[in-house]
Amino acid sequence: MAEVRLEKLSKRYGRADVLAGLTLTVRDGELFAIVGPSGCGKSTLLHLIAGLDTPTEGRILFDGLDVTELPPRARDVALVFQSYALYPHMTVAENLAFPLHVAKRRTSRSREEIAAEVRRIAELLGLVTVLERRPRELSGGQRQRVALGRALIRRPRVFLLDEPLSNLDAQLRAGMRAELRKLHDDVKTTMIYVTHDQTEAMTLADRLAVLDRGRLQQIGTPRDLYDAPANRFVAGFIGSPPMNLLDARLEDGEVRAGPIRFRLPAGVETRRGAPAGTAVTLGIRPEHVRMCAADAAGGSNGIVGTVRLTELSGSQLWVSAELGGYNPGTILVGLADATDRLQPGDQVTISLDRMVSHLFDAETGARIDCEIGLEPG
C-alpha cells in the first residue's frame, strides 16, 4: 500500500497540453476516482502513475519517494484496462497464478503457496467454481473478475483501474461496482479508478477528482462535490440528471432568473464588488424542483412551465419544462409524481426547495459561496 502524490504534473504531446499542472494526493489505502469526459486526460494520467509514460513536468511520489524516473516494474503497481487480455489457452487458475510464476521476487514460493494464493483470490472474487474453465467458457463479468484477480494476486502497492467496467452491460456493471467496493474494503490496497461515468465514480469512491481538458476542477468526497461544486463545470458534470444552470442577474438583493427569485444574504453583492445587474449562473438540482399538473393543488409562487419531455424513472417522473415568463427555450428539469401522467404540452406549476441553490460567476464559472433561500411570501 502507498500514498500517491502528484506534484504539478504536466504532459504535452507536441503543442497540446493533455495534462496541466496537476497536484493531488491519494491517501494510503484510499479508493480514489478520477472522473471526467472522454479525452480529458484520464488514461494519460494513469499511464504516468504506472510508469508507462513520462511527464513533461512535475513529480510522482509513492510514500514520499520520487518514482518519476522509475520503470513500471520498480513501481510495484498493477494496471487493469477496459480491454483486459486473458491467456485463452490457460484455465482461470493458471491465469490467476501467472503473475506469481513470473514475478522474480516470488520465485521462492512453492506450488502449494501459489495454489493457496489462487484460492484466496478466487474466493475473494467468487471464482472458485470456475477455476478449471478457460476464458471463453466465462461470462463477461467473470472474465473481468479474472483480470482483476490477476492484477490483485501480486499484492501491488497501488492498483490502477482504467474504465475496467465499460465493456460490461449496465446491470452487470452495477453489480461489479458493488463487488469492487467490497474488494477494496477487503484488500485495502490504494486504488485509483478512472471513469468517464460520474455515477460510477460517485457511488464507488472515497474521494474523487474531476478533470476537464487536462485541468483539475475539484477534489473531494462525493458529498463535497454534490453539495458544493467548485465551478459550473463540476455542477453540470456531477449529478443525474444534470443540474439546471440558468442565466440570472443580481438585482435589489435578489438573484433573478425570470420568474425564479432567490433572496441574497446581505453583503453578497458588495462582497463581490458586483454592481446591480451583474450576470451570474443560478444552479438548481432537478431533484429540488417539483412539478405539478397546473390544475392540481401545489406550487403557488407563480412559476409555471410547459412540459416538453418526460422520462419515467420508477415511481418518479423527470420532466423537462419550458419556463414561462423567461427567455424562450429556457428548460428547467424537475420531478413529478408518475401518477400525475404529465404529457408534452401540459402546463405545470413549479416549486423549488429552499437553500439548495448554487451561484456561479457568469464569466469565470467559479462558485460564489453563499446560501440563498426562497423569497418569502
Verify binding: residue 161, ligand ADP, rule CB under 6 A: no
How many whole angstroms separate alpha carbon 6 and alpha carbon 219? 13
DSSP per residue, 157-192:
SEEEEESTTTTS-HHHHHHHHHHHHHHHHHH--EEE
Q: Which residue is nearest to Mg ion (CB)?
A: 43
Site for ligand ADP in 32-61 (CB under 6 A): 36, 38-44
* Binding footprint of ligand ADP, residue count (CB under 6 A): 10
Which of 210, 237, 180 has the alpha carbon at shortest distance from 42? Answer: 210
**Is 142 strand, coil or helix?**
helix
Residue 328 buriedness (CB in 10 A; 0-12 / 13-18 / 19+)? exposed
349 binds, among ligand ADP, Mg ion, none (CB under 5 to 8 A by kind): none
How many whole angstroms separate alpha carbon 304 and alpha carbon 318? 16
Nearer to ligand ADP, 167 or 306 (CB): 167
Nearer to ligand ADP, 121 or 219 (CB): 219
Nearer to Mg ion, 49 or 100 (CB): 49
Nearer to ligand ADP, 12 or 109 (CB): 12
DSSP per residue, 44-101:
HHHHHHHTSS--SEEEEEETTEE-TTS-HHHHTEEEE-SS----TTS-HHHHHHHHHH
Site for Mg ion in 231-270 (CB under 5 A): none
Q: Nine-digit cell at 286?
A: 432537478
13 binds, among ligand ADP, Mg ion, none (CB under 5 to 8 A by kind): ligand ADP
Q: Report yes or no: 247 and 287 within 8 Å, Cβ to Cβ.
A: no
Nearer to ligand ADP, 166 or 351 (CB): 166
Cβ at position 222, least distance to ligand ADP in Å: 20
Verify binding: residue 43, Mg ion, rule CB under 5 A: yes
Nearer to Mg ion, 151 or 372 (CB): 151
Strand order through the sheet with 260-263: 367-368, 357-361, 279-284, 244-251, 254-257, 260-263, 373-374
Cβ at position 19, least distance to ligand ADP in Å: 8
Cβ at position 15, least distance to ligand ADP in Å: 10
Look-up of cell digits 485541468: 215
39-47, 242-250, 309-317, 342-350 -> range binding Mg ion (CB under 5 A) = 39-47
**Is 31 strand, coil or helix?**
strand
- Which x/- pattern, by CB under 6 A, does the window 8-37 give for ligand ADP? -----x----x-----------------x-
Site for ligand ADP in 130-159 (CB under 6 A): none
Cβ at position 177, least distance to ligand ADP in Å: 19
231 binds, among Mg ion, ligand ADP, none (CB under 5 to 8 A by kind): none
Catalog residues that contact Mg ion under the rule CB under 5 A: 43
The binding site for ligand ADP (CB under 6 A) comprises 13, 18, 36, 38-44
